[in-house]
A and B are shown apart, each in its own frame.
Chain A
Amino acid sequence: MTAGTAQAGDPSRERQSETTPPVSSSIDVDVWRGDAVGQFVRYRVPRQSSQTVLDVVTWIQRNLDPTLAYRYACRVGMCGSCAMTVNGVARWTCRTHVDRVAARDRLELRPLANLPVVRDLVCDMREFFDKWAAARGRLAPTATRKDPVPRVAPGSRERRAADAAIECIGCGVCYASCDIVAWRPDYLGPAALNRAWTLVNDVRDGGNRERLAAIAGDAGCHACHSQANCTERCPKHLAPTASIAGLKRAVSRALLKGEL
């Protein structure tokens, strides 16, 4: 770690002096090194109280191996860029305390599953976001800037349905946790479908006919087995499973009305 990078905001620095010492003095961390082909490399990292998994990765990169590649930005659960597979489970590393996940003082860190690995803990998110586009995940406006702003009642059914799903920050945890994505690589996945559901419920949007045609079918909402891995793992506690069920209902209605 160079002097320039050890700023006041460094989480491992700040927390060091803060609280009581942890149970054991160090932790063994197996980190994936390589891309699709590679191996785990073990590092010994000092334990600190309130230490997050992201702190551990940062400590390794700054003290043991500066070539370790990983991705993060905000450190506080807002940006959605630090998700990795921690002891087999996709998580935000910045919001995961080592104490909560390190059984027997061991950690195993891999990149997110279901996405190509760029290097070490960094995966290529392109496919994930391309599927948002394929699911028509952007507003198709029906009004121009000259029209009055539409009024959406906060208590309306559509507004509440959109609210329940809107807080997604695109971290990819659900996508990496989804067995259907693993089985059907063309499956749009929970995040893209969840986004489509918010727009299906957006009264300002006029693109639903195209959107429902895009998300219907075996690569879309109908592939979902409602296993709810996504809902179980979503760090924002959203329920993409419920959104996908909503899409299935919407598609069925459109089909019966001859609008699909």
Chain B
Amino acid sequence: MNGAPGAAGASPGRIRAGHRARIDAALWLAQRVSAFVLAACVLVHLATIFYAVHGGLTAAAIIARIRGSVAWPAFYVVFIVAAAVHAPIGLRAIAAEWAGFRGHRADLATAFVAIALLALGLRAVWGLAG
């Protein structure tokens, strides 16, 4: 930076700010990438629901088809991971902007929501496929 004022900044505050910027940027990127995955997954998910309902399949018949399949549980694991990444980051932004809830505690809450979504989702997949 050619010695412009403020360029020397190796202060702890500056490093912390840089760390913060990296986390925020990584979360933003993760939310965008997971959005792409979700868009594809939601289409497959909805198309499957329409197909199943039109064909008059019962819940029992659907479970019977999924059991023993590798592809469907794998698909839903991807879906759940994407949702568990995507949703908490969005909730974190809403909490910050609408409720003023931000900082370290908000990050912890975000992680908690992510883990809860992941656990509930994976448990459902396990229930269907296991």
Contacts and interface: CB of A to CB of B under 8 A. Distances in A.
* Secondary structure dominating the interface of B: helix
- Counting contact residues on chain A (CB < 8 A from B), the size range is 20 to 34
Interface in A115-140: 138, 140
A218 B2 contact: no
A241 to B, nearest CB: 16
Nearest to B33: A252
Interface stretch (A91-99, A151-159, A160-168, A206-214): A206-214
Interface stretch (B24-32, B36-44, B116-124): B24-32
Contacts of B29: 252, 255-256
Contact of B97 (A180, A217, A248, A256): A180
A41 B2 CA distance: 53
Contacts, number: 61
A218 B1 contact: no
Interface string A209-239: 0101110111010110000000000000000
B7 interface: yes
A242 interface: no
Contact of A216 (B4, B7, B24): B24
A227 to B, nearest CB: 12
Interface in A233-260: 248, 251-252, 255-256, 260
A207 B1 contact: yes
Interface of B: 1-2, 4, 7, 9, 17-18, 20-29, 93, 96-98, 102
